[in-house]
Amino acid sequence: MKYTYLLLNFFTILVPFFRSFEPKLHFYKKWKFYFPALVIAAIFFLVWDYFKTKHGIWSFKEDYILGLKLGGLPLEEYLFFITVPYACTFIYETVSHFISKQLFPSWTRVVMYGLSAVAFLSSFFVYEQAYTFSVLFIWGLTFPIVLNQFSAQAFDKFLLTFLISIVPMFVVNGVLTGLPVVIYNNMENSGIRIGTIPVEDFLYNAILLAMNIGLYEWFKLKYKKD
């Protein structure tokens, strides 16, 4: 069905958008911090997406998209980088509001720095697999920068948000890769899948969340300083 990817975007953001106006959360009042973060992250990912699509790392099945394209990317792909990050940032706000206790030990940050270094170095061993290389390389570069934007509490909530987001990710990415809406060139990835989802997608999702939420925290901090 031509509306499949569009409807997937719609249902991804539907509940988070309307619940953004709840009196307890008032997430809509923080849009002035979040939307600049969303735009910057979306530009980065769309450029990345453009080159991956252009060079055949992945493609989109015409049966499930409207066919409206800009720069070789379907309209729905642009919407993806709005709906998914927004939904995940809403989870982050909800977690931050309702959970005050720190759940992860303080040394978890050090572990994340170590994993970032391992990812960066490992990327050079898989440079022939473009998708695997790029997620490892970009994760290794961006995560240390993003981690520096998080207070101990914000970092704790970010990790919890990522773990929670894996559940809806299985639904959304499960549809995208199961039908499939997005067709991966398996010569350009590790070939390891969890269900129908390439393992690289989990790192991709981590980078997407880290960049959106990290920039969101940066804009909030900048506002307070000003």
User: Can you give the pLDDT at residue 193?
Assistant: 97
Helix axes 31-54, 75-98, angle to 10 degrees: 140
User: Can you give the pLDDT at residue 15?
Assistant: 96
User: Can you give the pLDDT at residue 188?
Assistant: 97
User: Can you give the pLDDT at residue 226?
Assistant: 62
Which residue ranges make up each domain of the chain?
A: 4-225
Strand intervals (E) in the chain: 58-60, 69-70, 73-74, 182-184, 193-194, 197-198
From the first residue on, what is the mean pLDDT of each consecutive set of 10 residues in the chain (226 residues)?
A: 96 96 92 96 97 95 96 96 97 94 92 95 96 97 87 93 96 96 96 96 96 94 75
Report the C-alpha dihedral over residues 157, 121, 47, 194, rounded to 10 degrees: -60
Q: Are 173 and 193 in contact (CB under 8 A)?
A: no
